Amino acid sequence: MEKKALGDSGLEVTSVGIGCMMFGLMCDQDQTTAIVDAAIDEGVNFFDTADIYGGPHGKSEALLGKALGARRGDVIIGTKFGAGGRGAAEGGGSRDYIMQGVENSLELLGTDYIDLYQHHFPDPDTPLDETLRALEDLVQQGKVRHIGCSNYTGAMLDEAAQIATANGSHHYVTAQNRYSLLTRDIETDLVPVAERQNVGILPYFPLESGLLTGKYRKGQPLPEDSRFAKWGGGGGFASDPWFDIVEELVAYGDSIGRSVLDLAMGWLAAQPHVASVIAGVTKPEQVRSNVAAASWGPTPEQVAKIAGIAA
């Protein structure tokens, strides 16, 4: 599988990463280990988790760490701090929070360093300078190799770069935000700043919780074991306009011998500003499908056509 630069960190990550949000929620230890095994067999080297994934007490981190075992040094682990509920944790960007959070994550992951430590949500009550100085200390201590952010705006990313330059400290090498064929607002806000700073974009929800796999079709029953069925519908991931776009993608995919999944993953992986597409999975076969879908390499004309359908 193709590897791409993780910003200017010097690290290279596979074009598909494993999103570990469902570890502990929909996946127990055996299922998590099966997913990790399949990912490594497929050549995936990037796993993305967070201290709140999987339920309380960092369950996702613990399951991932155990599943990796002695292979920890063969992969790149990204985790996050500073989220609570549906947004920022109170004081989640403060020095105290960060220093305690990193120790918890290191213990749960069973490692003595984190490759990419990401601020999960901006903390409006803590000066960004405090956050960056705390993260710099962790880098100097060897507990963290590189730092990143998540859910920042372009203006926030710009401010962080200015502070890091003024302090002579490490800067964010990645920005993880919601990004898919159907959710593209970062293209006019965050992406231009990230490109200017050589910051790698890590899309989350690239398949809009399964809508862009093609398994959900307008007017058709929901698959019984699917997330949409368990939720009683697609929630915020489902709307008539989006289903209409999926139907157009199906038609175009049929014309070139590709699935909606191929179009969604291949288009994102082809974006020069995208370092790795973070796709959450609950089964090993989803890992294999995502890797194949991101590896087909659409032509520039196909990339433009796909983008136009979902403009």
**Which of 53, 117, 172, 216 is the catalytic position?**
53
Residue 121 tokens read as 């949500």
CB atoms within 10 A of CB 215: 15
Q: Where are the alpha helices (DSSP H) in 168-239?
A: 190-197, 227-230
Q: Taking the C-alpha atoms of 37, 38, 44 and 47 in order, what is their torsion angle to the nearest 10 degrees? A: -60
Residue whose C-alpha is closest to residue 7's, from 126, 166, 120, 146: 146
DSSP labels for 66-119? Answer: HHHGGGGGGSEEEEEE-EETTEEPTTTTSHHHHHHHHHHHHHHHT-S-EEEEEE
CA angle, corner 152, sides to 146 and 154, nearest 5? 105
- Are 19 and 48 in contact by the 8 Å Cβ rule? The answer is yes
- Report residue 222: phi and psi, to 5°: -75, 135
Told to judge if 117 belongs to the known catalytic residues of this protein, a careful annotator would answer no
Give residues with Cβ within 8 angstroms of 272, minimum separation 6: none
Catalytic residues: 53
